Structure 1
Amino acid sequence: MLRLSGFAASASVGDFCQRVALRLVTGQADQAPNPEHDAYLFKGQAFHSECQWVVTFEEHRPEAERLFSDRRLVVLPHDFDYLSEGDVIRFVPDRKAVRVLFRKGANANYFLVTERCNHLCLMCSQPPKDVDDRWLAREILDVLPLLPATTPFLGITGGEPTLVGEDFFDILSSARDHLPSTPVHILSNGRTFKDQQFAQRYQAIGHRRLSVGIPIYSADPEVHDYVVQSKGAFDETIRGIMNLKSVGAEVEIRVVVHKQTYEGLADLSDFIFRNLTFADHVTFMGLEITGFTRANMDKLWMDPYDYRSELRAAVQYLAAARINVSVYNHQLCLLDGSIHRYAKRSISDWKNEYVDECTSCSRRSECGGFFSSSNLARSSHISAFR
């Protein structure tokens, strides 16, 4: 598991005191220099940068202090030595706090827009906070112009991203202007889109590769509302999906499979077929054991092997109906062989790992592996393909 946040070993930045997003450059970047946000990544190279900022590591500290005595110097611990050209970090001078915001070589980069949410999902991996975090949106607006135009994917998440109002539209407009060819996927509970005007304004942004992933956990409104801990959420979510599709937006339906939802997978698939056939994608997702999930393990956790029949039936039903369907966050050895072709490697690389049983598996390269938090609860049926 990659370390994405921590503290600088040392920093010499003069009287600079505000948080800043820094794009790491080595002189090879194909983008125009940005004096305020570019930082030279020094790993002992001879190239001498004109950047105001220099980022280096403890082993290069003496040489960096000698060469760049007139620059703002940030020295990172060895845990961050995976950083490279084009990556973007956040640095907070007064605390020497560092967070990696974007990795050019990552399989997926997600930006957290807000920690506020109008759900309290039993298995939320990012428990909501009622805080004023508008600075997150402003930071994203600083970062987007720094990203390469060839960025293969960008995710927007929360909390509930639509709750930030105007900032939500500003972020999407910036992505349209700076990353017109990059698919941008928004994780939302969909409820704000119950307002037809909000849905229309969203679609009017005009980014041609924009999509929204919205969860539905059951065809039974009471079960869905229980999982998200918000009465009336089901009806507003369905209305939001309808409004989005009525304006031509791309919508993905997400279903997290656990003890509260697995028995209703067949009914949910039938509900989607009969009422939401226009969905662009349906994904059945494995449980990530973090956030609220840890506190609700007795209500949520079950061995994925034990719901393999229900999952197989739901996937095959939608596939037969010619609805684009996938399985995320599951290991191939736990899935019925008939749905292996729908399984995707979906876990973000920084928290993706494999266990000892995977070492000799002939299909490891095809398998999604595990979340790093899976050591808290893991199937007893993990086995290698020979």
Structure 2
Amino acid sequence: MAHITCNAQLPAVMRRNTALLLKGDAFKKMTAEQWAHLRESKPFVGVLLCGSEEQLNEVDQSVAGVPDIYLLPEDYTYLAEGDIVRLNPQGERISTLFRKSSPSNSILLTERCNHLCLMCSQPPKRVDDAWLVDEALELLGLIPRDTVNIGFTGGEPTLHGERFIELVEAAKLNLPGTALDVLTNGRAFKNEAFAARLAQVRHPNLQLGIPLYSDDPVRHEYVVQAEGAFDETIQGILNLKRYGVRVEIRIVVHQQTLPRLVQTCEFIARNLLFVDHVALMGLEITGFTRANLDILWADPHTYRDTLSEAVEVLRTYGMHCSVYNHQLCLVNRDVESVYRRSISDWKNEYLPQCEDCSRKSECGGFFSTQILHRHSKHIQPFQA
């Protein structure tokens, strides 16, 4: 695991856990003396040369003898000073773990899950991935302390049990000023002692995002493909709030949740009024969603009035709510006050017709997979 620097002259004493990144013409401008210095001084843990195929083909013999050279295609040009990567010398591959400039960094804790959600974007695997916890603990020690927000995601992070608590403790210790968002199905917190244990960490800015897809147990359990999940999720939410842990309820809007969307919001308002936030989310077309698209996809244009009604229910009860992952021109004006730009920058795109939209800067755009597979045909750019 290594920090990235673009400074080839970084003092040798500062090169521990640091990789040198040279992009485009930067590595072509390196002099023979500079390459010699890299060979002879204490080395970086890796030297990353990133550019077009033509540029990489022109890498000459001057790099010979420089240890741990990685040739990266243009796909990696987003890498920059302060990012954190995992280096795999055997396969000469890298994985990006943290981007300093991104407001939406998430740490994958496991690919295992006790749900098989119809629209899961990270299909679960039956693997022993305890090593991801060790990597996360190391990563938490490298992330800059001025980072505003990070997330823990999966799979289902709580399947790590006590080690999950250890990770939250490490986040508090290493990043005391950084908000921590955890995506979990909440079922593990049906165990009141586990909920109490998490609360005892006293993380200053922790929130758990827990999905609840219907007020009807049968419908919720069909969506998550897990028997008994509804009761355990509700009990988990109750236990977490009993101990003062912040909870956000998440509802992904699609064909299977739409018929009861308004009733689900009424159920939340009447029975779970004490949760901290409710998020109504658009569909990301990846993972299991692609296989189940015909029973999931609903055009936001067709349900905009239902979305307005659901938001109005939550606002009437004084609940904090937001609409995520939608396009601004496909929601009614009464929803705009809770509309959020929420799609992570690395998977966010716009259609060609959006270029002339006068409100593009306010719009969350599309998931890249929506552009590729299916999106509303009612996109209408706003005119100045």
Does TM-score exceed 0.5, indicating one fold? yes
User: What do residues 4-51 of structure 1 show as CA deviations (whole Å, max 9, x unaligned)?
Assistant: xxxxxxxxxxxxxxxxx12102459xxxx7755221223438787753
1:243 aligns with 2:239: yes
* Range with bigger deviation, 371-380 or 210-219: 371-380
1:56–1:64 contact (8 Å) kept in structure 2: no
Shift of 1:68: 8.3
**Corresponding position of 2:347:** 351
Contact 1:53 1:73 in 2 (8 A): yes
Q: 1:263 to 1:78 in 2, by over 3 A?
A: same
Task: Report the secondary structure of 1:42's partner residue.
Answer: strand
Partner of 2:307: 311
Cα offset, 1:321, TM superposition: 1.4
Aligned to 2:50: 57
Structure 1 residue ranges without an equivalent (≥5): 1-20
Change (3 A) 1:56 1:224: same
State the 1:207 CA deviation.
Answer: 1.6
CA separation of 1:360/1:52 partners in 2, compared to 1, >3 Å: closer, same or farther? closer
Cα distance in 1 for partners of 2:74, 2:291 equals: 33
Q: CA deviation at 1:69?
A: 3.4
TM-superposed CA distance for 1:168, in Å, is 1.3
**Matches of 1:297 and 1:253, distance apart in 2:** 23
**Partner SS for 1:186:** strand
Taking structure 2 as the reference length, what is the TM-score of the superposition?
A: 0.89
Instruction: Tell me if the contact between 1:351 and 1:371 (Cα under 8 Å) persists in the aligned partners.
Output: yes
Residue 55 of structure 1 deviates from its aligned partner by: 2.3
Matched residue, 1:25: 5
The alpha-carbon deviation at position 105 of structure 1 amounts to 0.7
Q: Which amino acid aligns with 2:119?
A: M
Amino acid in the other structure paired with 2:19? A
Which of these residues, 81, 84, 87, is aligned with residue 83 of structure 2? 87
- Cα RMSD, aligned residues only: 2.3
Deviation at 1:70, TM superposition (A): 4.7
* 8 Å CA contact retained: 1:217, 1:227: yes
**Correspondence for 2:18:** 38
1:57 offset after TM fit, Å? 2.4
- The C-alpha deviation readout for 1:50-102, integer Å capped at 9, x for no partner, is 53432232547977974783543323222212211111111212222221111
Q: Distance in 1 between matches of 2:61 and 2:196?
A: 54
Q: Residue in 2 aligned with 1:379?
A: 376
The answer (yes or no) to whether the contact 2:2–2:45 under 8 Å persists in 1 is no
- 2:181 equivalent to 1:185: yes
- Counterpart CA distance in 2 for 1:313 and 1:231 is 30
1:210 aligns with 2:237: no
Unaligned 5+ segments in structure 2 are none
Equivalents in 2 of 1:379, 1:34: separation in Å? 51
Q: Residue 184 of structure 1: SS of its match in structure 2?
A: strand
Contact 1:250 1:280 in 2 (8 A): yes
Aligned twin of 2:263:
267
Q: How is 1:224-303 mapped onto 2 (pairs within 5 angstroms)?
A: 224-303=220-299
In 1, the alpha carbon distance for the partners of 2:16 and 2:359 equals 46
Are the counterparts in 1 of residues 249 and 278 from structure 2 also a CA contact under 8 Å?
A: yes
Structure with greater contact order relative to length (CA < 8 Å, sep ≥ 6) = 1
Corresponding residue pairs, total:
365
Aligned partners of 1:68 and 1:97: how far apart in 2? 19
1:174 deviation in Å? Answer: 1.6
TM-score, reference length from structure 1: 0.89
- Pick closer, same or farther for the CA change 1:170–1:36 going to 2, 3 Å: farther
**Do structure 1's residue 100 and structure 2's residue 64 form an aligned pair?**
no
